Structure 1
């Protein structure tokens, strides 16, 4: 019911937004037929800029391009709301948005719908980027966006506790399970916090377990469900066993990124899976675990696992009147100097490979070498225009299994059936 109502709200927001735009005359197809080479003022639409760094970047652009000024449009922070408002604008063929800051999992949907335009790969320094991130900007072998920031899940741990026990951080599921079950209680701690509430975060955590076990949620070019394969079942069983055995506490089934971060940062957990943003916050003044945090790659069944790629890409609206300027703004924002500021000012992982070995940056962000390796071995979430519905189905079904309302095998069979009804072949 919760999943259905969430989808209904998104569809309604899209429909209402499209009607409003059309009624206001903003939905007319641009009369400028030379939009692909159009030059002039542009807008950059994004989810809420929580750190404020983007305004400074656009101010730098505007100082150099007074006739092609860029204006920042901030949408709500919730990803569903951002996606819904972008879609309502694009379905109305409005030219209000020029450059769109898209979650990496939206690239396929927006490209397949014709809302964003293919980009000339030679115009951007793609060979300087971490290789896996470039794939998130491709759809059917064409470049539809340019990687802007990236992300990969990391394992956070209490290095002070493991040091007392003379233990290295876990590199396998068995080691994580053993330490979470036996070491954590000796220090009055709980075992493992992830993002296990029924939303996109759970889809990511499940995908990481599946990938680490050598499986896939969707397989092949025709995107067939593979969730009942032996590897996928092994991954789901691992998560369910964690709840049954107590080293994944029941309260963790309500955690999103912030919930798990606050629980770990308050000193209640030995281990946490989260994105890199949590590091600076957990090390900040007032944190109960400041100075005691270690970061490692996510564990897998037999060694380091495979994280899910996160981040965002910059794309050009098909309805922009000033697409040449929009492409040049993307060039500016993804240049080496600006990518450095993405990290320094925005605390977001950059896409340029060389920044991960910069000595000054590594001193400031000690997790960079681990993050680099995690990104290089990470995998994208399912590439499909139907990703949003896929994620809703995965999160709801996996949560039922982890809440012990359904066996892993029954949950996998149910999920396969749901995904078969959702996914469109490319």
Structure 2
């Protein structure tokens, strides 16, 4: 997660000027995005000389920070693997969490794998990084299923999610957790404004429905302290990119072809940017959104400075420590929602690729996916959302429960409601 910038205290005209500046910045961003896929890596952590311990040290899993907090579900899953292989020293695994935002983590991983400065066996890659790492030969293709049981297990992954592991016809990873944009709403505020449950967000809601609700609320924010219709992440980082892509997709503007080649033109770029600006204008966006990331936009929503919020699945659990459950709800995002998430890949230079692949299979098993879902991530398997799904590993489930006497804010992430799970399944 990135640290939010201080929120500007903008007047109405200043906010409009900021939105216009954001439009210009978005144009530049899109041009930069067209050439960003081949960027080089930066410096990576150097735990030691990887070559010296490649054969006898633990299997090393490199990942970004776990949004479920310290001692989070990813670390608990690695520890469960270690317990199940307690008698095999060479199968023990270690989770290394990389600092910084997603762009910084990508640079660190590229630098480490290209230079050999750090020895990683498994890397947790954002789905958009798979083509780049595969094309550079930094991760190995996944071998075909060795048995009918493995083949059936692979088919359990959602098709749209599994497709993110494929580059040029070959799969280079297994889906770990997925992410999809969701629409959160303040049930208490909508009900208090006389908007009945039947007119609140549902699976078939459109942006026009959101605009109509905002109009009923009568909000017109002129400063970051005012109540707004909605908020999202428009700070200049990947959150802004996601919002741009979703707005563009809603008006059928594609920035790249199936091979990742840039294909937009000035006319289509203007059409997409107009869609984004219209969304923010009619939705009466919170002025602070222009400098907001996931953390600050979530705080604005919880504090009542926005009635609607575009966010990721883990926000549902985070809100459990901020609001009573009857004060907010979640449903699918109107229009197009960007598919995000992470996939686990085995590095091309791993000295123990077979053990690394076994670790990846464990971390993406049906039981592990249930643990991820219970901790606030969206799971990648169809079966995880169905009746009779396999339960989370017992010791992991116990580790994720709040300790006796813990407050909601101090405890483990709030378990997903059926509404949240239905929203994931419907969208995916």
Shorter-chain TM band: 0.7 to 0.9
Aligned partners of 1:250 and 1:189: how far apart in 2? 10
Matching residue of 2:200? 168
Name the counterpart of 2:328. Answer: 293
Q: 1:327 aligns with which of 351, 357, 363?
A: 357
| Distance (Å, rounded) in 1 between the aligned partners of 2:381 and 2:51 | 37
List runs of 5+ in structure 1 lacking aligned partners. 33-38, 300-304, 376-426
Q: How many angstroms apart in 1 are the aligned matches of 2:427 and 2:251? A: 15
Residue 338 of structure 1 corresponds to which residue in structure 2? 368
Change in Cα spacing, 1:318 to 1:255, as seen in structure 2 (3 Å) is same
Change (3 A) 1:351 1:148: same
1:369 CA displacement: 0.7
Counterpart Cα distance in 2 of 1:129 and 1:47: 22
User: 1:222, 1:99 → 2: CA distance?
Assistant: 25
Compute the displacement of 1:158 (Å): 2.0
CA 268–141 in structure 1, closer or farther in 2 if over 3 Å, else same: same
Following superposition of structure 1 onto structure 2, how do residues 115-134 of structure 1 map, counting pairs within 5 Å?
115-122=138-145, 125-134=153-162
Where structure 2 has 5 or more consecutive residues not aligned to the other structure, the ranges are 1-24, 392-414
In 1, Cα distance between equivalents of 2:246 and 2:154: 26
- Classify the secondary structure of the residue corresponding to 2:340: strand
Q: What corresponds to 1:252 in structure 2?
A: 289
Q: Does 1:48 align with 2:27?
A: no
> Aligned partners of 1:58, 1:207: CA distance in 2, in Å?
34
Across the aligned residues of Structure 1 and Structure 2, the Cα RMSD in angstroms comes to: 3.4
Deviation at 1:251, TM superposition (A): 2.1
The Cα shift of 1:13 comes to 9.5
How many residues in Structure 1 have an aligned counterpart in Structure 2? 351
Q: How far does the alpha carbon of each residue in 1:87-116 deviate from its partner, in whole angstroms, 9 at most, with x for none?
A: 111111357100111111111110011000
Secondary structure of 1:136's match? Answer: helix
User: What is the aligned counterpart of 2:423 among 366, 370, 377?
Assistant: 370
Moved more, 75-84 or 354-363: 354-363
Query: Which residues in structure 2 correspond to 1:185-200 (within 5 Å)?
Result: 185=219, 189-200=227-238
Corresponding residue of 2:129: 106
Equivalent pair of 1:209/1:235 in contact (CA under 8 Å)? yes
Q: CA deviation at 1:341?
A: 1.1
Summarize deviations over 1:240-268 as a string: whole Å, max 9, x none: 13445571233211111111111001112
Tell me the TM-score normalized by structure 2. 0.73
Task: Decide whether the 8 Å contact of 1:215 with 1:229 is kept in 2.
Answer: no
Cross-structure match for 2:381 = 352
